[in-house]
Amino acid sequence: MSEASLILSNANVLTLASRQPKAQAISIKDGKIIGVGANKEVSTYVGKETKIIDCRGKTIVPGLVDCHVHMKDFGLFLRQVDLRNAKSIEEMKKTLIQHVKSHSKQPWIIGGRWDHEKLKEKRYPTRLDLDSVIPNKPTLLMRVCGHLAVVNSKALRLAGITKHTKVRGGEVELDPKTGQPNGVLKDNAIDLVSKIVPKLGKDATEEACALACKKAVETGLTGVHWLLSSSEEMNVLQEMCEDGTLPLRIYLGIPERLLDHVLALGISSGFGNEMLKIGFIKILSDGSLGAQTAALKRPYSDNPRKRGMMLYSQRILQKIVIKAHTNGWQLGIHAIGDRAIENVLDTYEEALKKVPAENHRHRIEHCSILSERLISRMRKLGIIASVQPHFVISDFWTIDRVGPERARWAYPFKSLLEKGIVIASGSDCPIELINPLLGIWAAVARNDKINERLSAEEALKTYTSNAAYASFDEDTKGTIEKGKFADLTVLSDDPTKISRDKIRDISVEMVIVNGKIVYSKESKH
Ligand SMILES: [Zn+2]
């Protein structure tokens, strides 16, 4: 019998494995699980060097994985101005004044996460609102969805934006009275400003990535599907991996604009090691519901002139999808509106016709406004739904935006599961908080009128075994079984036992990645 390096005993282990769903103890050696069972069974692995942790009845689940997170932006956001809780434009201004005071060295004021639906005024802030408190420093404040921003006059001037500026796949909003830009920028128009923001130095990128990893682990995550935004970030991750400072496993979403570069290198999905792995090609196909830029089949219920927009022509999108697919890449395409989802499914179908593949595991990111027909098409094509359960709570205005008929098919988790579609869950942080327990809570405790709630066990699976499937890792991760990686999250309570509403109050006691304790509540100071 081999000797364990670590044994967790007296626990309530939810293995999520069908063969042995419950256990009391886990023994670990060389980063892997070598035994799962009753305390007595596992105690046979005790040796001289074995560290034994008495879990005192705490619950252990397979390590939680967030399948859609913008980690560098999350790290940066922790240092930026956060307007998430602003309830009025006046309150936004106060927060901005405070931020400018305490960050006087920053050349730009960057941040946001504001949501006009939560503002008393129920409108977008404008450049005039910002100018009144920040006249001299260029300022860029993203809406919570990331598809709309407001900038001040200084930023407009620096970016050279005028009433004549036209942007493909974007919009410079004009004040209906003066005909001048009002500071509101949509989708690709935001790039006009963000591209002139001084580039981060490597130090700042390093700091952001490390901080994001640390915070992610503290919320119970043992892995993330990390949406990469720059080659510098890749550089930092490679270094962290080599130095052994990555506290959690990373599966990378590579932005579409780097597709030709990675193809030129001859690499595809799955390249890398067990800590840092190349994942899928990430494409944005439409905008967001919040900004009314998600591509819908029929107009927005609260704006009959708008149907949102596709960010690529169908011909170009098709070309990119076929190129990635035929070169062995998994794809993850952001599609929120039903028209976008339909178009993306068309491209997947076409690609699969050209080069049939059993095990492609292509994904749709967000997958918000579905229909029964779209769901059965997803099922037929074997597409993974990469969803963010907390959107159900944050997008409380969905019904106004799309009307009750379409809102019925917004985030229909239960229907997706019943149709046999794999759901993998994530946060889309920094758009939402990264905390996976909030996501599990949202999926389980959502409004019950449309019968789309998941059970706690189903919700847990979307963050564990299904997440592992979405990264081709089901043989090594996702359940607590002998031979799999010792990636474990220890929780204060059992989400399958406590009342739904309490799930969000569960605290993370300990996080283990590759058999190492990377976070412990007790040693936190
Ligand atoms: Zn995202």
Q: Separation of 252 CA from ligand 1 center, angstroms?
A: 13
Distance 36 CA to ligand 1 centre (A): 36
DSSP, res 230: -
* Local structure of 513: helix, strand or coil: strand
Distance in Å, CA 430 to ligand 1 centroid? 9
For residue 426, how far is its CA from the centre of ligand 1 (angstroms)?
A: 9
Residues flanking ion ligand 1, Cβ below 5 Å: 428
CA distance 454 to 414: 6
DSSP assigned state of 257: G
pLDDT recorded at residue 424: 98
Amino acid present at 30: D
Give me the tens of pLDDT residue by residue for the chain, a chain 525 residues long.
689 999 999 999 999 999 999 999 999 999 999 999 999 999 999 999 999 999 999 999 999 999 999 999 999 888 899 998 999 999 999 999 999 998 888 889 999 989 999 999 999 999 999 999 999 999 999 998 889 999 999 999 999 999 999 999 999 999 999 999 999 999 999 999 999 998 878 888 999 999 999 999 999 999 999 999 988 999 999 999 999 999 999 999 999 999 999 999 999 999 999 999 999 999 999 999 988 999 999 999 999 999 999 999 999 999 999 999 999 999 999 999 999 999 999 999 999 999 999 899 999 999 999 999 999 999 999 999 999 999 998 888 899 999 999 999 999 999 999 999 999 999 999 889 999 999 999 999 998 888 999 999 999 999 999 999 999 999 999 999 999 999 999 999 999 999 999 999 999 999 999 999 999 998 764
- The residue among 88, 78, 79 whose CA lies nearest residue 114 is 88
> What is d(CA 460, CA 478) in angstroms, rounded to the nearest whole number?
10
pLDDT of residue 1: 64
DSSP string, 104-143: TT-SSEEEEEE-GGGSTT-S---HHHHHTT-SSS-EEEEE
Contact in structure between 215 and 239 (CB atoms under 8 Å): no
Distance 428 CA to ligand 1 centre (A): 5
Q: How far is CA 7 from the centre of its chain?
A: 32
Q: What is the CA(429)–ligand 1 centre distance, in A? A: 7
- Tell me, what's the pLDDT at 525? 44
Residue length, the chain? Answer: 525
Give me ligand 1 centre to Cα 23, in Å: 36
C-alpha pair distances (Å), 339 with each of 223, 346, 363, 373: 32, 11, 16, 12
Give the start-end residues of each E strand in 267-381.
276-284, 330-335, 363-366
Q: How far is the CA of 388 from the centre of ligand 1 (A)?
A: 9
Q: Residue 30 Cα, ligand 1 centroid: separation in angstroms?
A: 34
Please give the distance, rounded to the nearest whole angstrom, from the Cα atom of residue 282 to the centre of ligand 1: 10
Helix (H) / strand (E) element for 149: namely strand 148-151
Query: How far away, in angstroms, is 208 Cα from ligand 1 center?
Result: 17
Distance 35 CA to ligand 1 centre (A): 37
Expressed in angstroms and rounded, the spacing between residue 287 Cα and the centre of ligand 1 is 10
Using the mean position of ligand 1's atoms as its centre, give its distance from the Cα of residue 434 in Å.
Answer: 12
C-alpha 367 – ligand 1 centre gap (Å)? 12
Task: Give the whole-angstrom CA distance, residue 114 versus residue 352.
Answer: 40
- Residue 146 CA, ligand 1 centroid: distance in Å: 8
Distance 70 CA to ligand 1 centre (A): 6
Q: What is the pTM of this model?
A: 0.87
